[in-house]
Amino acid sequence: MTIGNANIPTAEADALEAVLRWAVEKRIEANVSYSEGARWISLRTNFLQYDSENNILQLAVLREGRETGPSGSLPGPGHSVGISFRRGHRKCLFLSTLLLVQPGNGDSETLIVRVPKQVRSVQRRAYQRVVVPEGHFVAAKIWEGGAPQKGAVAWPVCSGKLINISMGGALVEARVDQNPRLSSGEIVGIEITARPGVSLLFDGMFRHSVASGACHLGLGFHFPALEHETPGRSSISDLSEFINRVRGMRC
């Protein structure tokens, strides 16, 4: 079964429980993401318990993976959280609601979240970087502070071309004189021209920059929390379809 028109299968209702019980039995590590203001926060956790009667999941926050937002605390009840984990050659993702944060031993906490209605499953091959072949120009724009809101007046801080892309992130090449001078972890908007008249829009987290010849700079970005399907942003389905299109380009 698929979601929308994407080649991204979702666990059927009768298989969802099996997936979650497997994750709990194996104590699978999961990444939990949530937003606080304009910042994305990630937590490393382990699946701890699945309660089918009460429709809840428990995840233990790993001490070495505990990151909090600017407020210095974890999100509160009712906060939307994205959860992703690996299962064989696929990566599973779902969106849930945080119900409770239970204090644990020392500085470790347990997150109690609602069981999702569906889990998306993406081939991990999609997380391998696909290079745009020479002879193909894919335009890209970088927007300061995240993707611009619909109807807002805004201008990109730099423009360039897409070098490579995956479900995990992208590398954009820009002229040195357009260097946006971003800080590591800063959130930007990334607009990619998928085809004439059609653009994709994502939030991107700046990771690094690399020299690309004497006049150009490579800007590396991570796509945080795609499972959140933020309004006004392109979906996982859109990104997956575009990556497959780039993979099929010929030199």
pLDDT tens for the chain, 251 residues: list them: 333 334 444 445 568 889 999 999 999 999 999 988 767 888 899 999 999 999 999 999 987 655 555 556 788 899 999 999 999 888 899 999 999 998 866 567 899 999 998 888 888 788 889 999 999 999 999 998 887 777 666 788 999 999 999 999 999 999 999 999 998 888 899 999 998 889 999 999 999 999 888 899 999 999 987 888 777 889 888 999 999 999 998 86
Residue 2 maps to a domain: no
Q: Is residue 152 part of a domain?
A: yes
- Tell me, yes or no, whether 95 and 136 share the same domain: no
pTM above 0.85, yes or no: no
Cβ(68)–Cβ(74) below 8 Å? yes
Look at residue 68 in the predicted model and tell me its pLDDT: 55
In the listed set 66, 98, 124, which residue is the last one of a domain according to the structure? 124
Helices within the chain (DSSP H only): 13-25, 236-247
Buried b / exposed e along 188-205 (16+ C-beta atoms within 10 A): bbbbbbbeeeeebbbbbb
Contact between 238 and 169 under an 8 Å Cβ cutoff? The reply is no
User: Where is the domain boundary, 99, 124, 149?
Assistant: 124
| CATH value at residue 230 | 2.40.10.220
Look at residue 8 and tell me if it is in a domain: no
Does residue 120 sit in the same domain as residue 132?
no
Residue at which a domain ends, from 71, 101, 124: 124
- Number of domains making up the chain: 2
Cβ atoms within 10 A of the Cβ of 176, count?
A: 12
d(CA 211, CA 233) in angstroms, rounded, equals 29
Q: Is residue 173 in some structural domain? A: yes
Q: Is 6 a member of any domain?
A: no
Domain co-membership, 73 together with 47: yes
Strand (E) or helix (H) holding 55: none
- Which pLDDT belongs to residue 71? 55
The pLDDT score that the predictor gives to residue 26 is 96
Residue range(s) defining the domain that contains residue 192: 128-247
Same domain, 215 and 237: yes
5 in a domain, yes or no?
Answer: no
- Is 4 inside a domain boundary? no
pLDDT the model gives residue 27: 96
Whether residue 219 contacts residue 172, with contact meaning beta carbons closer than 8 Å, is answered with yes
242/149 same-domain check: yes
Residue 72's pLDDT is 60
Whether residue 1 is contained in a domain is answered as no
What is the CATH classification number for the domain harbouring 90?
Answer: 2.30.110.10
- pLDDT at residue number 5: 34
115 and 177 belong to one structural domain: no
**What pLDDT shows up at residue 41?**
86
Residues 170 and 98 in one domain: no
Same domain? For 164 and 104 the reply is: no
144 and 184 both lie in a single domain? yes
